[in-house]
Structure 1
Amino acid sequence: MVQSADVQKLFLQAIFSRGILSENLAKVLWKKSIEAVKAADQDLEIAYSNDPERWDNFVADVNVSLNDLDFEFKSIQDELNGKKLFALVNRKDDELAQLATDYSAVEIAFFKAVVEQIMLARNESYSVSSLAALREVSAGKEKINLTKSQAEVLLGSFVASGWLLRSKRGRYSLGPRSLLELSPYLKSTYAEEIIECTICHETMTKGIACKRDNCKTRMHYFCFETYRRRHSTCPACSLNWPQNATDDGLLSVGELAVRHGATEDRQTRGSPDSEDDQDMEHEPSQTQTKSRQPRRSQSTKKQNNAREEEEDEEDINEEEEEAEYTPPPAQRKSRR
């Protein structure tokens, strides 16, 4: 017998087959699930509504039903455009459990090696070149049993599945799916490297940093744009800020922190600071005069700046975000 609870069942079946999906697509699947149940029994009093509160209540009900399974239907904002994305997240603190169903132990070992290079990248660039990523097959203490060609195909699979992003420069960074589904792993493994946005307090690998020494302000691009409409100075140190995120006066977090053609040395955990400073001459990036501050507690959580919700309308038929992204255009002049 058809029941209103079957809407949740149909919805979960639809999203289980998808890795990460846009909020608009999730709402479409919710609507289609309601229509399917109504078609089976017209007497059921259920109706689709575009009211945000109705959607929030539905998501809350879904998570109640998933609670005993240690799953959660969780959202994150895309670091580049601020659009909300959803995914089913395994709440168990198993190391990279989410990848285990799709990849072998060897393939997961390669993924972990690439993620480590991304997280340890200097100057908060949180990205790695394709050559450096492929180098991880044989660069670690334990050689990974993959050929370079197999590793290249595997990187493409990570991108297609949303775990990684690949830019037009050929650099790999963490995709929204990794930031969402692997958050416990990243925070426990890279506690010293994780930084948070000053505004939304979410993990951040792409955005801007205040230029003033010792200032810990970091913001996603979309958080900066929202904040800058009402404020002209840094919320922490009151330094005057430019109008645009890529103008002189701000530093980049993410790929734009890396200069084109820079040499990329392999990073290891526990490397002495002096060794890192010596390597800087091989990879000049945003500035040689401003030293990056330690990443722990980069956000100022006591600041109560209200975040405005401004979500752009996206294609209703969109089934996944683009795997290849383009960072905001670099408009800044050289400060070296």
Structure 2
Amino acid sequence: MVSSNDVKRLYLQAILSRKMVSQPVAAKIWEKCVDAVKKVDPTLEIEYSDTRDGWNEWVNGINDQLDQLNLEFAHLTDEITGKEIYGIVNRKQDEVAQLATDYSAAEIAYFKNVIEQIMLAPNESYCVSSLAALREVNNLKSNMTKTQAEVVLGSFVAKGWLVKSRRGRYSLSTRTKLELGNYFKNTYPDEFIECTICMEMLTRGIACHTPHCKARLHDHCYKNYRRSKNKCPSCGESWSSDDKIAPVGEAAFKEGQDKGKRRTRRTAEDDEEEESQIDPSQSQIESQTQSQSTTQPSQTQPKRKGRRAVISDDEEMQVNEEEEQDVKPQKRKSRR
């Protein structure tokens, strides 16, 4: 028996099969699903509106049903094209675990290592070279080879988890940012950047060149903003020329910046160690106490040698006489 609920069933199947779709495509799929159900039963009354308010109401209805499954029909603006992208994502607490259906534990660990190097890339470049990505195999507790890692990297790109540029550098895809946005924000709070205009995650765009200014804009947000304003939205610095802005993303990548020491995320243990280095007074006192205890004679050693440095001449003569009396009996015992 056909019912109006079949529209949502058809719609979810269509979206799941396509992974990620733009807003116009997602809206068109909704229209086609309504037409398909009406053809089976023209008497059904199915609400449909091609307005933005109607679309938003449809998305909210989808999410009301998906919420019980910890899923969400979420959207994010593509940083390259500026298009609004929709997809069904997992909102469980452990966001990375949702990859387990497609990849093994070793491949998931490798993926986490690669995206960590992307997030920790210097100069806010948010990308790694192919060689740097393959080197992450050495930090795995598995027997994955670099040849296998190269195949896995290709799979990450093919399935939309990573983006590989013409220059051979890997960066985060729209799908990864859409599904793992909360993971990035909680795991890398110091590296996580939001666009000053749209407040969405930013890994490509521009930055204000003014020192200490935190303004970061997507390229499409920057273009729209410059149509009406010519000042930084944060510090108010004039953006009359291009030298007032700096790139964010692969354009900020400098040759050789990922050939040095592997970057690691700072932890609470690192902060505690740094604090102990900044305030070494207690450790200095302990080291001095320890050094003094090692230089002082033990209880089995004669204490008279340490006493001579502080006793008077008369006392020293008395000590010498006591030492001579101690020596004489020893000689009698060793008489041949």
TM over 0.5: same fold?
Answer: yes
Amino acid at match of 2:65: S
Contact 1:125/1:255 (8 A) holds in 2: yes
Q: CA deviation at 1:259?
A: 2.8
| 1:149 counterpart = 2:147 | yes
The separation in 1 between residues aligned to 2:259 and 2:18, in whole angstroms, is 35
5+ residue gaps in structure 2? 272-336
Q: What do residues 196-221 of structure 1 show as CA deviations (whole Å, max 9, x unaligned)?
A: 11111111111110001111111111
Give the equivalent residue in structure 1 for 2:93: 93
3-state SS of 1:17 partner: helix
| 1:253 counterpart = 2:248 | yes
Contact 1:34/1:46 (8 A) holds in 2: yes
TM-score (norm 1): 0.76
Give the equivalent residue in structure 2 for 1:119: 119
Give the equivalent residue in structure 1 for 2:40: 40
Choose 262-271 or 22-31, whichever is displaced more. Answer: 262-271
Q: 1:268 aligns with which of 255, 264, 267?
A: 264
5+ residue gaps in structure 1? 274-336
Q: CA deviation at 1:49?
A: 3.7
Between the two proteins, what is the percent identity of the paired residues? 54
The within-5 A match list for 1:217-236 is: 217-236=215-234
TM-score (norm 2): 0.76
| 1:61 counterpart = 2:61 | yes
Q: 1:167 aligns with which of 165, 168, 178?
A: 165
Q: CA deviation at 1:46?
A: 2.5
Contact 1:124/1:254 (8 A) holds in 2: yes
Q: CA deviation at 1:24?
A: 2.1
Choose 19-28 or 256-265, whichever is displaced more. Answer: 256-265
Give the equivalent residue in structure 2 for 1:276: none
Contact 1:110/1:144 (8 A) holds in 2: no
Choose 231-240 or 211-220, whichever is displaced more. Answer: 231-240
Q: What do residues 141-183 of structure 1 show as CA deviations (whole Å, max 9, x unaligned)?
A: x444322121111111111111111111111110011111011
Give the equivalent residue in structure 2 for 1:281: none
Structure 1 residues 69 and 187: alpha-carbon distance in aligned structure 2, compared to 1, 3 A threshold: same
The separation in 2 between residues aligned to 1:94 and 1:106, in whole angstroms, is 17
Structure 1 residues 115 and 237: alpha-carbon distance in aligned structure 2, compared to 1, 3 A threshold: same
| 1:71 counterpart = 2:71 | yes
Amino acid at match of 1:15: I
Choose 196-205 or 18-27, whichever is displaced more. Answer: 18-27
The separation in 1 between residues aligned to 2:32 and 2:104, in whole angstroms, is 35
| 1:137 counterpart = 2:132 | no
Contact 1:98/1:181 (8 A) holds in 2: no
Amino acid at match of 1:68: Q
Q: CA deviation at 1:264?
A: 3.0
Q: CA deviation at 1:260?
A: 4.4
Contact 1:4/1:37 (8 A) holds in 2: yes
Q: CA deviation at 1:233?
A: 1.1
Give the equivalent residue in structure 2 for 1:108: 108
Q: CA deviation at 1:262?
A: 5.1
Give the equivalent residue in structure 2 for 1:203: 201
3-state SS of 1:135 partner: helix
- Identify, as 1 or 2, the structure richer in helix: 2
Q: What do residues 94-116 of structure 1 show as CA deviations (whole Å, max 9, x unaligned)?
A: 24122111111111011000000
User: How many aligned positions are there?
Assistant: 268
